Amino acid sequence: MSGEVAQTIVALSSAPGRGGVSLVRISGLQTAETLRALAKNAERMIASPRELVFSQIFEVTNSGDKQPLDYGMGVFFPGPGSFTGEDVAEVHLHGSPYLVRRFLESAVTLGVRLARPGEFTERAFLNGRIDLVQAEAVADLVHAETESQAFVARRQLEGQLSGVLLEIGEPLRDLLSEIEAYIDFPDEELDGLLVEGWRRRTIETRERIAKLLLTFESGRVLREGASVVIVGLPNAGKSSLLNALVGEERAIVTSIAGTTRDSIEEVLSFAGIPVRLWDTAGLVDDSSMRTPDEVELIGIQQSWKRARQADLVVFLYDPLSEVPDEQLLLLEQVRSFARRVLVVGNKADMQPVAVGASPTMQQQMQISAKTGASIEALKAAIAEMIVGEGGFRQGDLQISNLRHREALTQAEERIGDFLLSLDNGLPPEISALELRAALGSLEEIIGVTETEDLLGRIFSRFCIGK
Ligand SMILES: Nc1nc2c(ncn2[C@@H]2O[C@H](COP(=O)(O)OP(=O)(O)OP(=O)(O)O)[C@@H](O)[C@H]2O)c(=O)[nH]1
Ligand SMILES: [Mg+2]
């Protein structure tokens, strides 16, 4: 154990600021000793682990004097059966930044070090309590803002993804030991049938990896939220639609064309899927009858940019438009670059009379942003389009982390190289190298093989006290 890890650490684990209760966590060899110095009833906490004990709490001054600080609760979790695998204590103080600061300073006076972000979870990983995928899930759960994000993180924390990754690697591990046996006996001829078996088993594994990789797209949407951009002609009702979806008067609505200039963002959740919804300045093309001013022009440029980056463009169609041809032209333009387009006809309350309702119009649904008609149906349609064909179903195993995707892609590529080496009749020691690299990539995800750099990147994402 390095000196750093051997040190006892302390941090505020609840959110900083004033509140009902502040929770301070301590982990390491000196935990019991620190608890004895700072809590009057420490002995009772240590004698009955995992039980909350009421106690007077002390502070320790620089000169080593003990003084009353607060009344609170404390609990002791002996290692190795604790979260970090070390002795851990949690002390509940009254939720005051002053009390917390004095408590932390007292612990530091006693030789305890302030923890870095994520250091408790990092210790849990280093002590084998959880694997890397689970450690990342802890951070994801803390950051989860919607039901689906929490669901994916919880599954990952429970170890489902780790389990599947181990299972996928299993045939590769077996195969590697078989091939290595051949390396030890270089005179033996490689049997064609045997090689065929190796090939088949590896292809099966590669297919499983490919399937898992396919879940990344919907997984990413769950984690980061999909960006949904509302575009359309000026006055189509885009800002009215944003307001209807948000459920409050978020954007300015007027009957003046060109009201919205800056794009406006709102974060919402549709059917448990996080959505970053953008209202944009109405699009006008060169043939427009009205000439936008400089500010509006910049807004329009922004609209195009947002639409290009969107996961889904909602094209809000105005059946009452006086420039129906221009509107169809814009729709075609949007269709030419957007990944997914949902064409929504607005102002259904007006019962459009012929105007603009040309037969070429391809509205997928009709709503009224003004009365709120079919807004719920629109939310469902947006959610459905984001997660896409055969995409996310609650219950499917997801990968949602870029690091996982990179490592799986690596593994997939190295398996391809392995198969190539078999095809080319290369010596087994060369094939074994490729296979070992593939396995290495898989194991890196869980943290069987890890580097300091990798750990630094993962745990820096955590908050202090976690
Ligand atoms: N009858 C009816 N009027 C609507 C509906 N939606 C919007 N409007 C009206 O259409 C006008 C323009 O609405 P906005 O929401 O400001 O339109 P916009 O697309 O954001 O316009 P710009 O920001 O100028 O691009 C306002 O007078 C709204 O009241 C609707 O569903 N029915
Ligand atoms: Mg607007």
Cβ–ligand 1 distance for 114 under 6 Å, the answer no
Cβ–ligand 1 distance for 347 under 6 Å, the answer yes
The answer to whether position 460 is within a domain reads: no
Confidence check: pLDDT of 1 > 50:
no
More confident residue, 91 or 323: 91
Cβ–ligand 1 distance for 300 under 6 Å, the answer no
> Contact, 66 vs 60, CB < 8 A?
yes
Confidence check: pLDDT of 452 > 80:
no
Q: Tell me, what's the pLDDT at 292?
A: 79
240 CA closest ligand 1 atom index: 15
CATH classification at residue 159: 1.20.120.430
Q: Tell me, what's the pLDDT at 351?
A: 64
Any idea which ligand is nearest the CA of 235?
A: 1
300 and 348 both lie in a single domain: yes
Q: Tell me, what's the pLDDT at 317?
A: 93
Any idea which ligand is nearest the CA of 351?
A: 1
Q: Would the CA dihedral through 39, 42, 45, 46 be positive or negative?
A: positive
Mean pLDDT of 303-329: 91
Any idea which ligand is nearest the CA of 374?
A: 1
- Token digits for 188? 């033996």
Mean pLDDT of 278-306: 82
- Token digits for 390? 């055969």
29 and 102 both lie in a single domain: yes
Residue whose CA lies nearest to ligand 1 atom number 11: 255
Q: What is the extent of the structural domain holding 363?
A: 227-387
CATH classification at residue 56: 3.30.1360.120
291 and 196 both lie in a single domain: no
255 CA closest ligand 1 atom index: 27
- Residue 132's nearest CA partner among 462, 405, 464, 458 is 458
The answer to whether position 289 is within a domain reads: yes
Q: How far is the CA of 266 from the centre of ligand 1 (A)?
A: 18
CA distance 429 to 186: 10
